[in-house]
A and B are shown apart, each in its own frame.
Chain A
Amino acid sequence: MKSPRTVLKPQFAFISPTLVFLLLVVAFPLVYVLYMSTQEWYLASRVPPTFVGLKNYAEIIFKDSRFGSALKNTFLFTLIALTLQTTLGVLCALLFDTEFKGRGIVRTVFIVPMATTPVAISLVWILMMQPTTGVLNYFLSLVHIKPALWVFSQKTVLLALAIVDTWMWTPFIMLITLGGLSSLPTEPFEQAKIDGANSFQTFFRITLPLLRPYIAVAVILRSIDCLKTFDIIFVMTQGGPGTASETLNIFMFLKGFYQFHIGYASAVAVVFFVIILVVSIVLLRFRRPE
């Protein structure tokens, strides 16, 4: 007596719901967005979509300066944010690796930002960054630094957004690095002590090289997400002032969902997809050095 269940191999039965999901919600939309990107398609107009081949792509890459600036902003924001949060994250990991009273509770509080709702976080940051009445400029005035315009100036907007991102995600780098620190072998450190190395030498010659694979994992995962930052930028600046903080994500969103320029936005979506995919694959190759 065979039940129909035994006909289906278990390894297929277990993953078939996931496969269905991946097919319907991920793969099919991807194929469709490729198709959409070859169309001249305005959602608002009555004109039906028409096939235009690679025209949208040509326009994006060769004509639209906003795309180029969005590309630059995306990578610049990621570079600033990652530099800040990696440096701080590693330093904080060293701190949390030392024994001190109340370490557990301080660490717990420290990691809360990475799980809190980005939209809510952004609202409070905006209030703090208000140029005339905001609390951040008050703090600056206490140490005699003249008030900054934060997200309200083209010059500082990317840095200001990177600071918010750093506030949220430094704990992530810290936690991964801390995990690395706790699993380091002890012999090299004993040897260094015998050889009379000072703590700076020990850190740069031994700790840091041993930690490198852990820091690499943290930086890789973070950079892939950082390139896709949406919530905090959309809420705090919508890509402004002007287009100073318009990243590829924001650019595509505004084209697609504000101007309903569907074909063009789809082409941006495809280009963005390819960029992230390539970056992910390249970076993930570094992930497992062995």
Chain B
Amino acid sequence: MTAVRNIRSIIRRVALLTVVVLVIIPTVFFFYWMFLLSFRTNVDNMAYPPKFLTRTVVVDNYSIVFKQNPFFRYLLNSLIVAAASTLLGLLVGLPAAYSIARYKQKGVALAIMLARMTPHISYLLPWFIFFRMMRLLDSYISLVVTHLLVSLPIIVWTLISYFEDLPRDIEDSAFIDGCSIYGVFARIALPLVKPGIIVVSILSFIFSWNNFMFSVVLSGPRTRTLPVAVYSLMTFEEIIWGQLAAAAAVITLPVIVLTLIIQKHIVSGLTFGAIKG
């Protein structure tokens, strides 16, 4: 009896392990392949049948990508735009989330959700015309303001539930002590939702960093962000796999690190409070 049961449990375990490996292989292999391509010569990358290991590690792909293009500039641009739109998003979104949670302003919440759900490409054409008219194409302002459409919904919708969960009696006792609503917000509510603020800042940074559609239209040689720069690498006549992979690795690495930091909360920022992370 026990022997049969043991064999059964072993089979079960092996089966489970196999399924786990099958499920995770597409993800692991993808990133492995990206980094492998980026550290190999073109000859090795084009070999068929493909080689899955490498004896030599070369960093030429990275150095060429950075040398032939002002990639540091693009990196800096991406950093500036993502950080600035996140900061601006917090400045605008924190009071809004607090207010929506406290005064049940469902209409505003709904408007923000609709702004997020409707196709952003529909706004892109008028933005382009305006910014062109105001000579603000290829400026940080146009990028930061439009990226707010990415960051604000994430910030507001995630933080509403954080603010709703705050115990009201702490606020009430502050009122009795003569604190104004603004004082309560700044000195009591904000510090209490600090973990939430960290989560939304990272989420907002990631999705602004990833944004391609706004930047491809509104940025220019001076403000070009990484996704646009990497995309334009592809339009070269001769595509060097290793360089493409290196550029892809440069963009994704910071995002991978940030994702690992907030992995548990990532879904809460993308579901409009439907699921609490």
Contacts and interface: CB of A to CB of B under 8 A. Distances in A.
Q: Do A and B bind each other?
A: yes
Contacts of B112: 18, 22
Interface residues of B, number: 91
A160 B212 CA distance: 21
Contact of B248 (A114, A123, A262): A123
Nearest to A213: B274
Interface string B113-132: 01101111111111111100
B214 to A, nearest CB: 10
Contact of A280 (B24, B99, B118, B231): B118
B59 to A, nearest CB: 18
B123 A17 contact: no
Interface in B80-139: 91-93, 95-96, 98-100, 102-103, 105, 108, 111-112, 114-115, 117-130
Interface string B46-77: 10111000000000000000000000000000
A132 B115 CA distance: 43
B270 A221 contact: yes
A289 B146 CA distance: 34
Interface in A90-143: 92, 95, 98, 100, 106-121, 123-124, 126-128, 132-133, 135, 138
Nearest to B126: A29
A14 interface: yes
A176 interface: yes
Given A11-B105, A18-B92, A36-B126, A118 B210 contact: yes
Contacts of B231: 119, 235
A19 B266 CA distance: 26
B34 A119 contact: no
Nearest to A279: B117
A194 interface: no
B170 interface: no
Contacts of B130: 29, 32
A124 B34 contact: yes
Nearest to B242: A127
B1 interface: no
Nearest to A33: B126
A119 B228 CA distance: 8
Nearest to B31: A112
User: Main secondary structure on chain A at its contact with chain B?
Assistant: helix
Given A10-B182, A109-B27, A276-B119, A175 B244 contact: no
Interface stretch (A76-84, A149-157, A224-232): A224-232
A245 interface: no
B105 A15 contact: yes
A266 B263 contact: no
B158 to A, nearest CB: 14
Contacts of B91: 17
B167 interface: no
B79 interface: no
Contacts of B145: 25
Contacts of B270: 114, 172, 221
A269 B46 contact: no
Nearest to A18: B96
Contacts of B198: none
Contacts of B127: 25, 29
Contacts of A18: 92-93, 95-96, 108, 112, 152, 156
Interface string A181-211: 0000000000000000000000000000000
Residue from B126, B130, B234 having most chain A Cβ neighbours under 10 A: B126
B3 interface: no
A123 B230 contact: yes
Contacts of A217: 271, 274-275
Given A19-B108, A119-B212, A253-B121, A111 B115 contact: no
Given A33-B126, A100-B20, 12 more contacts: A10-B99, A18-B95, A25-B146, A106-B24, A108-B263, A133-B50, A175-B275, A217-B271, A221-B274, A234-B213, A248-B119, A252-B121
- 10 smallest beta-carbon distances between A and B, as pairs: A14-B99, A120-B248, A29-B126, A14-B95, A18-B96, A119-B227, A269-B122, A11-B103, A273-B122, A17-B92
5 contacts: A13-B95, A14-B96, A17-B91, A119-B227, A217-B271
Interface of A: 5, 10-11, 13-15, 17-19, 21-22, 25-26, 28-30, 32-33, 36, 92, 95, 98, 100, 106-121, 123-124, 126-128, 132-133, 135, 138, 167, 172, 175-176, 179, 214, 217, 221, 224, 228, 230-231, 234-235, 248-249, 252-253, 256-257, 262, 265-266, 269-270, 272-273, 276-277, 280, 287
Interface of B: 16-17, 19-20, 23-24, 26-28, 30-31, 33-34, 37, 46, 48-50, 91-93, 95-96, 98-100, 102-103, 105, 108, 111-112, 114-115, 117-130, 145-146, 148-149, 152, 156, 181-182, 185, 206-207, 209-210, 212-213, 217, 226-228, 230-231, 234, 241, 244-245, 247-249, 251-252, 255-256, 258-260, 263, 266-267, 270-272, 274-275
